[in-house]
Amino acid sequence: MFAKLFAVLLVASSVLAAPVAEVEQLEKRKTHNGQATYFSVGLGACGWNNVDSDYIVAVNSAQYGLNGYGGNCGQKVVITNTDNGKSITAQVADECPTCSWGSLDLSPSAFGALTDNNFDLGVFPISWHYKKRN
């Protein structure tokens, strides 16, 4: 009786524990869709100073904390403007608390590179994914 109960609890606990790491790994391989905006950079949530000419991004709060709070700091992302097909690689350096899931806030230089420096757009649709770490 107790052996059966122990076996059931052991199986249940392993099933409940397994998906967390798996979800984080799958999230890294997924292509995300959202909106891009831009901001004036400085000291970011990742703890280092940046300048407007750096290709950096602020990730929405939900995804910023997904891989451990700030766990994606320094990670490279490939961003594509889905309106014109232009792509760049940028680095995660900050958190965007006002961005929705899948959306990124870009440094002015990253935004400009994807829009031919058309800052009047203010926002445009993107797809992006994390680049594999070396």
Residue whose C-alpha is closest to residue 79's, from 51, 48, 49, 38? 38
| Total domains, the chain | 2
* Pair (73, 120) in one structural domain: yes
pLDDT in tens, 27-41: 556 899 999 999 999
* Pair (26, 90) in one structural domain: no
* Pair (74, 111) in one structural domain: yes
Give the residue with greater pLDDT, 47 vs 19: 47
* Pair (69, 115) in one structural domain: yes
Give dist(CA 95, CA 105) in Å, integer.
Answer: 8
pLDDT in tens, 83-133: 999 999 999 999 999 999 999 999 999 999 999 999 999 999 999 999 987
Burial class (CB in 10 A: 0-12, 13-18, 19+), 50: middle
* Pair (54, 26) in one structural domain: no
Give the residue with greater pLDDT, 87 vs 10: 87
| CATH at 73 | 2.40.40.10
What is the per-residue pLDDT for 41? 93
Domain that residue 3 falls in: 1-30
Give dist(CA 71, CA 133) in Å, integer.
Answer: 13
pTM score of the predicted model? 0.76
Residue whose C-alpha is closest to residue 59's, from 106, 101, 96? 96
What is the per-residue pLDDT for 11? 46
* Pair (36, 9) in one structural domain: no
Q: Report CA-CA distances (Å) from 101 to 16, 35, 116.
A: 25, 9, 25
Give dist(CA 26, CA 43) in Å, integer.
Answer: 30
